[in-house]
Amino acid sequence: MVVKAKTTATKKKETSSEKKTTKVGASAKTQKRATKSEKTAKKSAAKTKVRTSRTTKRAEKADVNLRAKKGTSASRWKVKHPGHAPHSSRVTAPKGPVKSLASKTSFSPKDNDERRWLVVDVADQTVGRVASQIASLLRGKHKTSFTPNNDVGDFVIVINCEKVKFAGNKETQKTYNWHTGYISGLKETTPARLRETFPDRILEKAVKGMVPRTPLGRAQMTKLKIYKGSEHPHAAQNPVAWKLRYDSTIGEE
């Protein structure tokens, strides 16, 4: 019994000594890690100091160069050092009230009742130049309330449509093509032949090509009234004569 008690006591002593050695080893490892982290922190701090000193020296040199070039005080030509806020580069405060850059945009309503009836005399006028001006009148681009997605244009009455002219040899060389829908139904004609049968279609086709190919453009084309001769049946609407901006008759003998 005595021998057994001794063996148990010796076992307890051995285990306690092993625990102490493990504790001592762990504490040494933690100390080594702490020293390593301190060394790395010191190195990084030294590097950052060197970098900041270099950048500040460069900024100071640039400041000196600017002062030498401009010959002014350092308060005006101050170099923005690293770490400064963006607003620190402002030289002086703005004078007077600060106005907003954005402006309000007004849109005209869809149902615009302020539509005029305009009479355009196209006698001896070039087709392309007249058609472009008529298209702008139909769209309402001559108004300050022009809105691309609304129909704000005026009604246009065209008279003397049979007296329009083409530049160059387009009267005989230009062709209008269409298809009847049947086999081999491709047809074509020239402005000279079309002028004899349907003279109003010459200007109508030209204006239609200058209007958007949308339902809005088709609605704007309904306000175009083309007539042969100098008479029209819209006297009740009190139409106003419209002076063309580009008059082709000016400069001719």
Burial class (CB in 10 A: 0-12, 13-18, 19+), 131: buried
Specify the pLDDT at position 56: 75
Specify the pLDDT at position 86: 55
Residue ranges of the alpha helices (H) in 160-238? 170-173, 191-197, 200-208, 215-221
Specify the pLDDT at position 29: 73
- Which numeric CATH code is attached to 117-241? 3.90.1180.10
Specify the pLDDT at position 253: 41
Residues 6 or more apart in contact with residue 178 via CB below 8 angstroms:
186, 187, 188
**How many alpha carbons lie under 13 Å from residue 40 in its C-beta half-sphere?**
6
Q: Write the DSSP string, 76-100.
A: TS----TT--GGGG--SPPPSPPPP
Both tokens of 36, joined, read: 């390593």
Helices (H) and strands (E) in the chain, counts: 6, 6
Specify the pLDDT at position 3: 45
Per-residue pLDDT of the chain (253 residues; tens, 9 = 90+): 444 444 555 555 556 655 555 555 667 777 777 787 887 877 777 767 666 777 777 777 777 777 776 655 545 555 555 555 555 555 566 666 766 666 677 777 776 668 899 999 999 999 999 999 999 999 999 988 888 889 999 999 999 999 999 999 999 999 999 999 999 999 999 999 999 999 999 999 999 999 999 999 999 999 999 999 999 999 999 999 999 987 776 655 4
Which contiguous run of DSSP H or E holds residue 155? strand 155-159
Q: Are 144 and 104 in contact (CB under 8 A)?
A: no
pTM of the complete model: 0.57
